[in-house]
């Protein structure tokens, strides 16, 4: 190798090192970006069920999932005479909103009744507001409720009570979370802490 070739050789070696370092940095960057978010709740992103709903609010207006685009939406199925799971779940969701601070307005909690016979529009409105003024109760006739429950894979069954005409309803206890784009993302188990749920919602609000 001549003396004239040595500077060119050193320049080529330096350039190759720089390119190798740059490629490594880009690889690490995109590798980090592709990591899925570390949700506390069950990640059900990509589920081909739970596509949405068409139900009625206490004011008689038809409400659809698309009405809440831009917000994280939490959907829970229950009934107002539920003795335990429903009130504890809605109380927990109230705590979640409290943990979100200014972002609470970007979250919509929806309570879908599985008992339209007893949960009239007025009953449903008062029940939802008792937990938080922003909570919305939705209802439909028995056929509409059955269809939505089936689409969300919600189990529910009525059991006769001790007195004539009385009954209770066994039902699934999870809450379904949609991201601001209207995509079903999470299934929150009953009993999950409000801190964990709030952390998950912050990730969704950040576009994760």
Map the chain to HEC letters: CCCCHHHHHHHHHHHHHHHHHHHHHHHHHHHHHCCCCCCCCEECCCCCCCCCCEEECCCCCEEEHHHHCCCEEEEEEECCCCCCHHHHHHHHHHHHHHHHHHHHHHEEEEEEECCCCCCCHHHHHHHHHHHCCCCEEEECCHHHHHHHHHHCCCCEEEEECCCCCCEEEEECCCEEEECCCCCEEEEECCCCCHHHHHHHHHHHHCCC
Q: Is 159 part of any known ligand binding site?
A: no
The model's pLDDT over 93-144, given as tens digits with 9 standing for 90+, comes to: 999 999 999 999 999 999 999 999 999 999 999 999 999 999 999 999 999 9
Which residue did the predictor score with more confidence, 105 or 28? 105
Give the pLDDT score at 2: 52
| Domain co-membership, 31 together with 80 | no
Strand partners, 63: 55
Q: How many distinct structural domains can be found in the chain? A: 2
Q: Is 86 part of any known ligand binding site?
A: yes
| Domain co-membership, 167 together with 92 | yes
Q: What is the mean pLDDT of the chain?
A: 89
The model's pLDDT over 42-91, given as tens digits with 9 standing for 90+, comes to: 999 999 999 999 999 999 999 999 999 999 999 999 999 999 999 999 99
The model's pLDDT over 193-204, given as tens digits with 9 standing for 90+, comes to: 999 999 999 999
Give the pLDDT score at 165: 81
| Domain co-membership, 124 together with 29 | no
Give the pLDDT score at 6: 57
Domain that holds residue 9: 1-35
Most confident range (mean pLDDT) of 25-34, 129-138, 159-168 is 129-138
Residue 25 pLDDT level (bands cut at 50, 70, 90): very low
Whether the predicted pLDDT of 5 surpasses 90: no
CATH classification at residue 126 = 3.40.30.10
| Domain co-membership, 53 together with 126 | yes
Give the pLDDT score at 102: 96
Whether the predicted pLDDT of 15 surpasses 60: no
Q: Is 82 part of any known ligand binding site?
A: yes
| Domain co-membership, 6 together with 48 | no
| Domain co-membership, 5 together with 56 | no
3-state SS record for 58-116 = CCCCEEEHHHHCCCEEEEEEECCCCCCHHHHHHHHHHHHHHHHHHHHHHEEEEEEECCC
Whether the predicted pLDDT of 31 surpasses 50: no
Give the pLDDT score at 14: 53
| Domain co-membership, 3 together with 59 | no
Give the pLDDT score at 35: 74
């Amino acid at each position: 190798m001549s003396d004239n070739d040595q500077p060119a050789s050193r320049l080529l070696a330096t350039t190759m090192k720089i390119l190798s370092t740059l490629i490594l940095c880009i690889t690490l960057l995109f590798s980090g970006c592709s990591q899925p978010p570390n949700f506390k709740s069950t990640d059900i992103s990509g589920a081909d069920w739970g596509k949405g709903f068409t139900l009625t609010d206490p004011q008689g207006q038809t409400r659809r999932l698309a009405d809440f685009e831009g917000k994280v939406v939490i959907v829970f199925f229950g009934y107002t005479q539920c003795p335990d799971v429903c009130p504890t779940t809605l109380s927990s969701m109230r705590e979640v909103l409290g943990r979100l601070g200014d972002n609470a307005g970007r979250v919509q909690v929806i309570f879908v009744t599985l008992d339209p016979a007893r949960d009239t529009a007025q009953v449903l409105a008062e029940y939802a507001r008792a937990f938080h003024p922003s909570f919305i109760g939705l209802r439909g006739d028995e056929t509409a409720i059955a269809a939505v429950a089936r689409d969300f894979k919600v189990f529910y069954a009525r059991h006769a009570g001790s007195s004539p005409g009385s009954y209770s309803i066994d039902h699934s206890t999870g809450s379904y979370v949609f991201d601001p784009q209207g995509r079903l993302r999470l299934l929150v188990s009953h009993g999950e802490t409000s801190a964990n749920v709030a952390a998950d919602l912050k990730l969704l609000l950040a576009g994760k």
